[in-house]
Structure 1
Amino acid sequence: MPKYKLSRSSYRHAQVKSNQQIVQLEHTGLLNISNTTNGFIDETSIDKNVLQLDDFDYSFLSSYVEKENTDANFVTSCDKNPKTPIWNDLSNGNELNFRTIHNKSLPLDLDPSKLADWAIENSITHAAINSLLSLLKPFHSNLPTDARTLLSTPRKLKLDIIEPGHYYHFGLNIAVTKLIQKYGKNLECIKICISIDGLPLSKSSSNQLYPILCNLYENPQVVETVGLYQGFDKPKNANLLLERFIGEAVSLTLNGFHCNGYIIPFKIVAFICDAPAKAFILFTKGHTGYNSCSKCHIEGTFINNRVCFPEVDNLRLRTDTDFREKVDDGHHVGTSLVETIPNFDMVNDIVLDPMHLIHLGVMRKLLILWIEGKPGSKLPSLKVKMISDHLLSLKHNIPIEFNRKPRSLSDIKRFKATEFRQILFYTGPLILKSVLSFDMYLNFLSLHAATTILSNSTLICELGDYADSLFKYFITTFGVLYGKDQISHNIHNLIHISKDAKQFGILEQFSAYPFENYLQRFKTLIRKGDKPLPQIIKRIMEQHSSQHTSTQLFEKFPVPKNPHFDGPLLNFEYLEQYKQINFNNFILKLSEADSCCCLHDKTVVLIKNFVKTAENLFIIGQKFEQIEDYYTEPCKSSILDIFLVSRIGALCSWNVNQIAFKCVKFPFGNKFVVFPLLHSATTK
């Protein structure tokens, strides 16, 4: 064994490193400091930071070691440190070996499944996992040596050829099983919604995905993958794409879903697709053609080089029988396998997606007409700037539930669906009031009011027919203001969407938002440009093998968060103060944007503190003494829980059970306009 010596500076650095190792080992409990028969550590020398020499390894000092031609003062340097005999023995060739520490001193075995869950949740690459495993394996013999074993990564994949690309079928049965394992306990009937849509993988090529996705009707936010197509164009034949999925859907519908020894009834409730995808899988005319409406027999009119649909009255509705018998030859271009699904209505169960129809369709079209439209509908650039400036001024009033803050209309080409939705439901009635003409503003408010009604389960029952009337008014006046040639497929289908809401519930219940959010995850699963489909499949299979399940739906709400001691307090005994309370579907905080709520008696409160007593949670705040309608046409805004409030009152307290919903509050002169945060309603 060659003789090693340390230079003076390297020796000092090494000694510091050694002492740090000792302290670290002492604090983490890696070393057994009790009396041992093997004599690895001498208790009497611990306080002096002196290690015995029996079985230790100096390999961690290798970067400081020089051969033969080292500093001649090395021995002298060691002599000046009598409390470190370790160095004298090192010069004689002895070694420290941390890897042979007594087994009783090692930490408990690391659970491989927990390590796998951590790797999957944090998107750790296989190379990084392999590097970590090589470090952990000497101390945890139960760990595998390869990431593919740890994550149960499939070695081989069988891809189906569907021209002009490839398809992999995960399975409807497997997808439903994963949904139920996560969130679907105690279901009397498994109701599934299906979505099919295209996703470009790159801006520089036509490479794209066409996934088949599903979610639980009772909990739309949870999505799983049934099948996945990838190619440089969409599949040439939709039936080939759907074949294996339809086969499983038919079997499950007829025989039920087998779960823990029970057979649970199964039903495909709806297909949720945008207009092009819907026409693709149903083999019907595209949305720009004649006879393209999936809900009625309207033919369409050709005006200014485009097909439009200006009629709103006396429309003959399609039926399931009409569709299957192809009564309207002009509507069909083929026969879809979807027709073979039992107990499925080919008209009523193919829903109109609010995200694509209303937010990306109608609301976006209105803004484009105001910014870039023809004379008469186009706004002056000064007014467009006023809208943008007003939007930007509301940034600090947007609650935490919104992922995006308002931005300038100069970025409208890059707006996402949620931004158009935010303008339609919340900021639009405020920022457009002083900018649009009365007729244009009233036309917009009719769309705003109708969609607000369809976003509230109580209002759908009470005012569903009125929402129908508002949509017809919107379409009629839209044609007068902007031209009949602008009444496109999306504008026309507003007539039919209220019927879908009456059947399926609020707009959010059957929108494509959960699927659209899930689609974006596919891109994050690709780690290199080559062979994207196998990469995505393997990442999904790894997620399926994970033992981790979410428990967020089983948490008991409301939950207080972030304790503080700043007050204000009223004259009753309290135990704790909090800055935040989490409810099932919204959060209230003491911040400016998140501190407004409405009670069941329509009292609007500005929250100043959250207090917990021995038995209950309370809010301490100030109510607005004056509440009035923000607008009175086309209906009173108070019917929709939209108020103009002012005159703040004295501090009072209310039990949190009195909270009906969270409010979005915007300044309006010396008053405030408050809107209900949709889908934040609590139960009495």
Structure 2
Amino acid sequence: MPKPIRYMSKRRIYQMINDEINTSSRTKRICNHQTNYLIPTEENNSAETVNSISVVSTDTSYTGENGGHNVAEQNEDHQDEVDAGNIDLPIVDNRTEGLHELECVQFYREDVSTTANSLSEDLRFWLSENSISQKAASNLISIFRNHGHQDELKKDVRTLMKTPRDVTGKIIHGNGGSYFHFGISNGLIRSLNKYYDVNPDVILIQLNCDGMSFSKSSNSQFWPLLAAIEADFYTEPFLIGLFHGFSKPNDFNVYINPFVDEMKDLQNNGIMINNKTIDVRLNAIICDAPARAYLTLTKSHSGYFGCSKCIQEGEWDGYVNFPEINNPLRTDESFRNQQQEDYHLGESLLLDLDFDMVSQIPLDYQHLICLGVTKRLLLRWCNGPKNQRLSKDKLNAINETLQAIKVCIPTEFARQPRLLDTVAKWKATECRQFLLYTGPIILKTIMGPRKYNHFMALSVAIRGLCDTQKYLVYSDYADQLLRWFVEEYRKLYGSSSISYNVHNLIHLASDCKKFGPLDNFSTFKFENYMSTIKNKVKNAPKPLEQVVNRTHEENSLPVIKNIVRPNLEVEEKNDKIIALKFNGFTNHVTLKIYVFTL
């Protein structure tokens, strides 16, 4: 049986290209580098049913490691194997003679059009991506059918979207609500197909859990269990399980039991993909403080023994605070042995996994820094005690500057600055923008030197720990800055102000040394995915069933390959930056800099 093209070595593909260039006289074909191509699902395994291949190289100026790929029409009906004699390689344009980089491999069938998907396939993608309700989708299908597309589109939208007939039988009732388990393996396979050309030997996954209210008129809420592959590039989370009720699950051990059972099997046996066994490891649990306490069955962050990193007992002064910065640290062994009994509320099922309950559960930068310390500082300056808040003139000056710089904020920022009048409603991205970008400039001429230096210590430390390349170089210095920040915080705002969030700044740098820069283990991408889940619910009855059906419809679609990863290279000469190269795009983009001293 001939070897499928997807498993051929790069050298063998080059050999086939050169042979075809010398002998073929077919029509020229050029690929569009930035267009994604479709990878089939397990049910539609047409990646191994290729009758012809189109290969094109780029101009020699492009040297991106992961080039874009063309959209390939997938045919579900054909299950033929590749025949070596049927390989069809069209002539490459003369501009690209002397292949330097294998830029595009386009899989297609001779009996299927390669220019576009069918109307039904395009419509399925559009309905799924835009979370269109079934009623609106049915009306749209009726319009298409009335204009001559009766043969292409079925009357019922559920047939088009391949909606499951009945999922109620797979829903687990009890524990204060209802739960559906999607599974880890399905999400892992789709993520690997989406983000990897060659599957890794080991998969590290991150786990997230949080509550989400989707109704303003009731307490109806979701508790999704999410996972994502840990990599040095962005990977989208996927659903493992979903709980629906009018409060959190009564028992979190019952809630995570299906996940723990499946994870144990994956840790012992791995996952088989394309005849290759891949090891699967749970590398981190990334949650906010309340969810972290629920999963580990420990005291909440508001308790006297709420710190998950050290054994300090908090002090009560209106609320629990943690004034000390030099306390013995918790260890994975001491957690398993429950040496500090006041910290534990029970035994979590997570202990059954090959997983460390202290060192592998890092602090979350989004809630700890952005929504925690930064927002608390801003609230103190605006509405705190008289000796802590800024004068009205200074607040007005800050607001005027925030208003003035709105036109200067680039589109890469998710939100434009808002005035301090609404600081209580600021989102995490707004607090992050103020801490790392706008705040250091705005406050320099407005705030007194002591408070400004105090703020800058936090800003510089977090900026260093966010650096994707030099976070290890900056980690020790950042740790010193954060410890000084906590000590100075007590002097400026009182010992009772050392809350859980402020105290845990002293533990942040150690998590960076283990997991990488702060954005590697933040909940930002998991929080963003919450809106995707929320958009799947279109009406009040049976919200869990709606999300399950929409997720199954989404998973029935072919996976869109996404492996283009632009990166920035800095070219230096004599301590001067002379060029910035943006790699990974359709062509190399080089920005020449003539006057810039590092």
TM-score, with normalisation over the residues of structure 2?
0.75
Counterpart residue type for residue 167 of structure 1:
Y
Q: Please tell me whether the aligned partners of residues 192 and 268 of structure 1 are also in contact (alpha carbons under 8 angstroms).
A: yes
Aligned to 1:619: 591
Distance 1:142 1:243, change over 3 A: same
Question: Quick one: which of 260, 264, 271 aligns to 1:257?
Answer: 271
Counterpart residue type for residue 433 of structure 2:
Q
Question: Quick one: which of 531, 535, 544 aligns to 1:520?
Answer: 531
In the alignment, the residues of structure 1 paired with residue 588 and residue 164 of structure 2 have an alpha-carbon distance, to the nearest angstrom, of: 52
How far is 1:257 from its partner?
1.3
What CA deviation, in whole Å up to 9, does each residue of 1:548-571 have, x standing for no partner?
Answer: 4143x237xxxxxxxxxxxxxxxx
User: Does 2:187 align with 1:175?
Assistant: yes
How far is 1:401 from its partner?
1.0
Distance 1:339 1:479, change over 3 A: same
Distance 1:520 1:124, change over 3 A: closer
In the alignment, the residues of structure 1 paired with residue 182 and residue 225 of structure 2 have an alpha-carbon distance, to the nearest angstrom, of: 10
**Superposition pairs for residues 52-451 of structure 1, below 5 Å?**
110=118, 112-134=120-142, 136=144, 139=149, 141=151, 143-157=153-167, 158-185=170-197, 186-218=199-231, 219-303=233-317, 305-313=318-326, 315-342=327-354, 344-451=355-462
What CA deviation, in whole Å up to 9, does each residue of 1:468-516 have, x standing for no partner?
Answer: 1111100000000001111001111111111110001000000000000
How far is 1:355 from its partner?
0.3
In the alignment, the residues of structure 1 paired with residue 394 and residue 542 of structure 2 have an alpha-carbon distance, to the nearest angstrom, of: 49
Question: Quick one: which of 506, 511, 519 aligns to 2:517?
Answer: 506
Aligned to 1:658: none
Q: Please tell me whether the aligned partners of residues 297 and 316 of structure 1 are also in contact (alpha carbons under 8 angstroms).
A: yes
In the alignment, the residues of structure 2 paired with residue 122 and residue 109 of structure 1 have an alpha-carbon distance, to the nearest angstrom, of: 18
Aligned to 1:41: none
Q: Please tell me whether the aligned partners of residues 178 and 224 of structure 1 are also in contact (alpha carbons under 8 angstroms).
A: no
How far is 1:620 from its partner?
5.3
Q: How many pairs does the alignment contain?
A: 473
Q: Please tell me whether the aligned partners of residues 198 and 209 of structure 1 are also in contact (alpha carbons under 8 angstroms).
A: yes
Percentage of identical aligned residues: 37
Counterpart residue type for residue 337 of structure 2:
E
Distance 1:600 1:622, change over 3 A: closer
In the alignment, the residues of structure 2 paired with residue 330 and residue 529 of structure 1 have an alpha-carbon distance, to the nearest angstrom, of: 41
- SS state at 1:339 partner: helix
Distance 1:376 1:603, change over 3 A: farther
In the alignment, the residues of structure 1 paired with residue 465 and residue 218 of structure 2 have an alpha-carbon distance, to the nearest angstrom, of: 39
How far is 1:140 from its partner?
5.3
How far is 1:111 from its partner?
5.4
What CA deviation, in whole Å up to 9, does each residue of 1:99-158 have, x standing for no partner?
Answer: xxxxxxxxx994533332222123333234334444555645354332111111112112
User: Does 2:547 align with 1:536?
Assistant: yes
- SS state at 2:418 partner: coil
Aligned to 2:473: 462
Distance 1:619 1:465, change over 3 A: closer
Of structures 1 and 2, the one scoring higher in RCO (CA 8 A, sep 6+) is 2
Aligned to 1:641: none
How far is 1:176 from its partner?
1.2
What CA deviation, in whole Å up to 9, does each residue of 1:424-467 have, x standing for no partner?
Answer: 11111111112222111111111111111111133322221111
In the alignment, the residues of structure 2 paired with residue 232 and residue 257 of structure 1 have an alpha-carbon distance, to the nearest angstrom, of: 36
Q: Please tell me whether the aligned partners of residues 191 and 235 of structure 2 are also in contact (alpha carbons under 8 angstroms).
A: no
How far is 1:532 from its partner?
1.6
Counterpart residue type for residue 515 of structure 1:
F
Q: Please tell me whether the aligned partners of residues 291 and 330 of structure 1 are also in contact (alpha carbons under 8 angstroms).
A: yes
How far is 1:365 from its partner?
0.7
Aligned to 2:104: none
In the alignment, the residues of structure 1 paired with residue 498 and residue 484 of structure 2 have an alpha-carbon distance, to the nearest angstrom, of: 13
In the alignment, the residues of structure 1 paired with residue 572 and residue 553 of structure 2 have an alpha-carbon distance, to the nearest angstrom, of: 46
Aligned to 1:56: none
Distance 1:604 1:251, change over 3 A: same
Please say which of residues 219-228 and 406-415 is displaced more in the overlay: 219-228
**Superposition pairs for residues 639-658 of structure 1, below 5 Å?**
none
Distance 1:413 1:259, change over 3 A: same
What CA deviation, in whole Å up to 9, does each residue of 1:206-263 have, x standing for no partner?
Answer: 1111000011110444110000111110011001110001111111011111111111
Which structure features the higher share of strand residues?
A: 1
In the alignment, the residues of structure 1 paired with residue 435 and residue 572 of structure 2 have an alpha-carbon distance, to the nearest angstrom, of: 25
How far is 1:300 from its partner?
1.4
How far is 1:603 from its partner?
4.8
Q: Please tell me whether the aligned partners of residues 214 and 223 of structure 1 are also in contact (alpha carbons under 8 angstroms).
A: yes
How far is 1:276 from its partner?
0.5
**Superposition pairs for residues 574-613 of structure 1, below 5 Å?**
584=566, 600=572, 603=576
- SS state at 1:234 partner: coil
When the two chains are superposed, the root-mean-square deviation of aligned CA atoms in Å is 2.5
How far is 1:265 from its partner?
0.8
Distance 1:501 1:616, change over 3 A: closer
Q: Please tell me whether the aligned partners of residues 159 and 166 of structure 1 are also in contact (alpha carbons under 8 angstroms).
A: yes
How far is 1:403 from its partner?
1.2
Q: Please tell me whether the aligned partners of residues 572 and 578 of structure 2 are also in contact (alpha carbons under 8 angstroms).
A: no
Provide structure 2 residue ranges, at least 5 long, that are not aligned to the other structure: 1-115
